[in-house]
A = this chain, B = another copy of it.
Amino acid sequence: MSAVMTTSHLASTWDLNGWSRHHLGRVEEALSRWVGQGAPAGLGDAMRYAVLDGGKRLRPLLVLAAYEAALSAQTPVLDASQRSGADEAALRAACAVELIHAYSLVHDDMPCMDNDVLRRGKPTVHVQFGEAQALLAGDALQAFAFELLTPDDERIAAVVQATLCRQLAHAAGSAGMAGGQAIDLASVGLSLTEEQLRQMHRLKTGALLEGSVMMGAACACVPPAARAALQNYGAAVGLAFQVVDDILDVIADSATLGKTAGKDAASDKPTYVSLLGLAPAQEYAGQLLEQAHAALAASGLPDVRALAALADMVVRRSH
């Protein structure tokens, strides 16, 4: 343990499972109510299949945890109407980031990309619905994410709606997730430096995870100093997530992962394990976890328990 003050002690005294269960219930209910509404039958089915009943929902939980942390610093406390608008904004942001994540998986699994047939223990969308429908479902899910963020609902300030769209579009686009996937695509079979690998993952998975944290914070006008700290937290957790993903790809089996294990090595993709070795990669994940806790301590936010526990969960998960 470093001498820096961190928040790693918080997680052990706090019930992440209970907190997650409550919020996952809200997210699942909302996604189930919203996704595919008004879509032609076949497309709506594919969209719902891609999103519902699966996934860890890490990104929505990060949104809601960051929202709670930001809310804990609000003075004066929001009145009931402001609070109801902020809660609704956070729930919509939580669902929107999950839609972006879900669409990226649908497209990523397609034959022209990773050509994967198993995802979350089920046939992938293109296997189930055909490639054309999978392509369209992914496209429609991305559009729907932005529709969710911009309801005709006066409780959610226009500036919050616009900020959330800005953050999500940036995290999802060519300077974020899609850009990272393009680098990934171009780097198969190449030997990357650790810096190049970090840059790829900072975009490919890190941008949306970090974006989730910042979007949650934006729903409750977080103070500027705390915003910078949350960005550091998001960056550390985002990178840790990918390092652990690479580790799990080597040490876990397909049944536990719910997707094809050993895939990265088989397709000759550079990973943290292939670059650093297994033990150093595990050590690196631990360092990133410490950085995340240190950032939370530096944020000055009164209640960062959910964020602290989620960081632990990201690094200690088995799938």
Contact = CB atoms under 8 A, between A and B. Distances in A.
A179 B43 CA distance: 7
B43 A178 contact: yes
Interface in A21-52: 36, 38-40, 42-44, 47
Contacts of A147: 166, 169-170, 173
A136 B162 CA distance: 24
A110 B163 CA distance: 33
Contacts of A233: none
Contact of A182 (B136, B161, B178, B179): B136
A244 interface: no
A113 interface: yes
Interface stretch (A79-87, A138-146, A288-296): A138-146
B113 A178 contact: no
A135 interface: yes
A178 B163 CA distance: 25
Interface in A128-181: 130-133, 135-136, 138-140, 142-147, 149-152, 157-159, 161-163, 165-166, 168-170, 172-176, 178-179, 181
Given A110-B112, A146-B165, A150-B162, 20 more contacts: A38-B179, A39-B174, A40-B179, A42-B182, A42-B186, A103-B139, A112-B135, A133-B185, A136-B178, A139-B139, A139-B142, A140-B174, A140-B182, A142-B143, A144-B169, A150-B166, A150-B169, A158-B159, A161-B161, A161-B162
